[in-house]
Amino acid sequence: MSEYKLELVDISKSYGKKVIFENINLKIKKGEFFVILGPSGTGKSTLLKAITGTVPPDSGKIILDGNDITDTPINRRDIAMMFQSYALYPNMSAYDNIAFPLRMHHIDKKEIDRRVRSTAKMLKINDIIDFNVTKISGGQKQRVALARAIVRHPAIFLLDEPLSNLDARIRYTTREELKNIQRMLKQTFIHVTHDQSEARVLADRVAVLNEGKLEQVGTFDEIYNYPVNTWVGDFVGTFPMNFLQEARNKTRQIGFRPEWTRITKKGGINAKVLSVENISNTAFLFCSVPGSAKPVVITSRRQYSVGDKINFRISRFNVYEKGRLVRKTGTAAKKARHPLHKTR
């Protein structure tokens, strides 16, 4: 038995000339909450569908629990998936929706009833269980879909943007619940999202996908602190990583997060405040800096107004050569977590 739950070996998919994803290699550990993060339309959903087999990859292998399942019929893979659209069977009640996968696996009627009811109770949908799924609210639909996925005890759970169709308020609580459920079931979850706050809160490890290519795999903090290239630095983080050209070397840039800066009275870099955004107790200052086309974002405890002239120093930075990470510097910064961790 392999130590990995799921291995994707060199899988690729394209429609004609349009490449959806290419040469994806991923190893997902047992019991891991794994998040695939990327902008919309970069092949994340298709990657999940490739794992289920509903969109077979053109090449490569998919290995589940050490067994090659690349050519296994979809219905005989031990996988549960929750679609972004929830894909509830509209002609059935919530109960029948949840029971459907169990019935397909020829489980005893009494056992089906027991499991459907206990799962529904766990997800607090036991009072709507006899309703037709077209007659329940969006949040309830999401729970029915989730219940249908977890009722089966499959080898692995695939969740395609499971929170994106929810109102912001329910989204935060559901996010916590999802994490709790995963901890309770001790199962492997693969969660696809474009929302990095979900990756930050939920993920044991994160894979960043861009235009069909894996950019980086690691914990959220690793990716946040040491993005392997400028694209990841730009994409991950509430504010993009700041990049400044090195004076001596035109191909080199230094990258730093807003909170890796310190405002000083004198010296350092001169900047002019363009706009201010407050999140909790921290002010994020968008500043124009000589030699940089894009505004640089720095943090401050004190309030500044637009037009103020300030000086700041960079306390920690990474070095990028032609857009790729070549040197991690930074002192005690390893443990430095970005300020949003404390909020919410």
Positions in the binding site for another protein (CB under 8 A): 49, 52-54, 56, 71, 73-77, 79-81, 83-85, 87, 89-91, 100-101, 104-105, 148, 152
Give the integer Cα–Cα distance in Å for 90 and 78: 24
| Residue count (the chain) | 344
Nearer to another protein, 91 or 251 (CB): 91
Give the integer Cα–Cα distance in Å for 175 and 192: 13
User: Could you tell me the smallest distance in angstroms from the CB atom of residue 124 to another protein?
Assistant: 22
- Residue 57 burial by Cβ neighbours in a 10 Å radius (0-12, 13-18, 19+): buried
Q: How many CA atoms lie within 13 A of 227 on its CB side?
A: 24
Nearer to another protein, 52 or 261 (CB): 52
Nearest to 46 by CA among 17, 9, 81, 90: 81
Longest dimension (CA), the chain: 76
Nearer to another protein, 152 or 316 (CB): 152
User: Could you tell me the smallest distance in angstroms from the CB atom of residue 323 to another protein?
Assistant: 37
**List of residues 6+ apart from 297 with CB closer than 8 A:** 239, 240, 242, 258, 284, 285, 286, 287
Give start and end residues of each alpha helix (H) in the chain: 44-52, 94-104, 109-122, 138-150, 168-185, 196-202, 220-225, 230-235
User: Could you tell me the smallest distance in angstroms from the CB atom of residue 79 to another protein?
Assistant: 6
Under DSSP, the state recorded for 3 is: S
User: Could you tell me the smallest distance in angstroms from the CB atom of residue 164 to another protein?
Assistant: 14
Nearer to another protein, 37 or 50 (CB): 50
Nearer to another protein, 57 or 258 (CB): 57
Nearer to another protein, 49 or 175 (CB): 49
Nearer to another protein, 101 or 339 (CB): 101
User: Could you tell me the smallest distance in angstroms from the CB atom of residue 86 to another protein?
Assistant: 8
User: Could you tell me the smallest distance in angstroms from the CB atom of residue 185 to another protein?
Assistant: 18
Q: Which amino acid is at 161?
A: E
DSSP bridge partners of 157: 80, 189
User: Could you tell me the smallest distance in angstroms from the CB atom of residue 56 to another protein?
Assistant: 5
